[in-house]
Amino acid sequence: MYNIAIIPGDGIGKEVMSSTLEVLDGLDLDLSYEYGKAGDECFKKNGVALLDETIDLVKNSDVCLFGAAGETAADVIVKLRQIMDLFVNLRPVKSYPGTDSLFKDLDFIIVRENTEGMYVGEEEYTEDGAIAKRIITKEASERICEFAFKYAKDNNKKKVTAVHKANVLKKTDGLFKKTFYEMAAEYPDIEAEDYYVDATAMYLLTRPQSFDVIVTTNLFGDILSDEGAGLVGGLGLIPSGNIGKNNALFEPVHGSAPDIAGKGLANPTAMLLSAVMMLNYLDEQKSARLLNSAIFDVLKEGKRLTPDMGGNSSTMEMAKEVKSKLLERMGS
């Protein structure tokens, strides 16, 4: 049995969560859910966006599924990543059928360092401006590069590409690049290469098929992964994982979408694909494969899609179609 912390959050977070749980119900797995409160509504009611009991719930669970928060997102999701030391941000870039992906054949993943770099939040004003610290440690570089190579090995990927700007940021990214190649030496079967971040931004448009696994620092990873999302067509489709030593949290990349909330218009795909990532993390690979294929079936068939994909089905209708494909595949 798996204990899963469920944080629906705000707006469409609640809708994509309930429809995803409806689909997971079809799997042959013993999943136990405990619900946690966080986000704007929680703030209104309790004066804090993230309750201590929610933090404890996530800490004591096997894994967490998170919907979306609204204006309090930074106090919720960014804080959870820090408190739980979820040092990896994993963002797959994959073409799905029936979507307006710019390329039909993409399948790579961005492994972004999630705890340091430009996002340590250490800024200060000076006499004539302001300074931000960019912190790169050996330890954090090592664990993110190790994760990337191990991920490549476990997932049949042939190559890991480090992305940096070591020609200008000689000390910080110099350390990151050096650490990357030290780790590469421990994985001789996997090809290792490195590019500057500006060149990578271009290669992602000109030859994205050449990437397998990209590993990079926090800010570069944030920017490149949104570029990756743009390549495969739309926020309603993009899942993500935040992974630490002892815990993980999976969430769609999108927010609470107040413009469409409460109307059943949200595309559940990003949340469903986040659940696929969760199942892989739990090593339930068969269930992950089945669910992934069922989502693929529905997108390919194109009969029950939400309005953002040109269909006229509701969030729950699309999810129920995924569930029925899932049950079909399980029965056959």
Active-site residue (options: 222, 281, 308, 320) = 222
Sheet harboring 159-164: ordered strands across? Answer: 31-35, 2-9, 63-68, 248-252, 239-243, 88-94, 107-113, 213-216, 159-164, 191-196
Instruction: Select the span of 43-51, 222-230, 258-266, 276-284 touching Mg ion (CB under 5 A).
Output: 222-230
Cβ contacts of residue 310 below 8 Å, gap of 6+? none
Active-site residue (options: 96, 119, 195, 281) = 119
> What part of residues 215-254 is at the interface with ligand NAI (CB under 6 A)?
235-236, 251, 254
| Minimum CB distance to ligand NAI, residue 257 (Å) | 4
Which of residues 113 and 222 has its CB atom nearest to Mg ion in the complex? Answer: 222
Report the distance separating Cα 298 and Cα 237, nearest Å.
13
36 near ligand NAI, rule: CB under 6 A: no
| Minimum CB distance to ligand NAI, residue 328 (Å) | 25
297 catalytically annotated: no
Which of residues 145 and 272 has its CB atom nearest to ligand NAI in the complex? Answer: 272
226 catalytically annotated: yes
Which of residues 14 and 323 has its CB atom nearest to ligand NAI in the complex? Answer: 14
222 catalytically annotated: yes
CB atoms within 10 A of CB 179: 22
Termini Cα distance of the chain: 25
Give the pair of three-digit tokens for residue 156.
């049949």
- Length of the chain in terms of residues written: 332
Q: What residue type is 56 in one-letter code?
A: D
Interface mask (CB under 6 A) for ligand NAI, residues 85-104, using x and -? --------------------
Of 15, 116, 173, 222, which lies in the binding site for Mg ion, with binding defined by CB under 5 A? Answer: 222
Which of residues 247 and 274 has its CB atom nearest to ligand NAI in the complex? Answer: 274
Active-site residue (options: 62, 107, 196, 226) = 226
| Minimum CB distance to ligand NAI, residue 332 (Å) | 30
Of 41, 284, 308, 321, which lies in the binding site for ligand NAI, with binding defined by CB under 6 A? Answer: 308
Instruction: Select the span of 30-38, 59-67, 214-222, 310-318 touching Mg ion (CB under 5 A).
Output: 214-222
Which of residues 163 and 272 has its CB atom nearest to ligand NAI in the complex? Answer: 272
Do 112 and 218 form a contact (C-beta atoms < 8 A)? yes
Interface mask (CB under 6 A) for ligand NAI, residues 64-83, using x and -? ----xxxx-x---x------
Which of residues 27 and 215 has its CB atom nearest to Mg ion in the complex? Answer: 215
- Applying CB under 6 A, the residues found at the interface with ligand NAI are 12, 16, 68-71, 73, 77, 235-236, 251, 254-260, 266-267, 270, 308
Residues with a known catalytic role: 119, 165, 198, 222, 226
Residues in the site for Mg ion, rule: CB under 5 A?
222
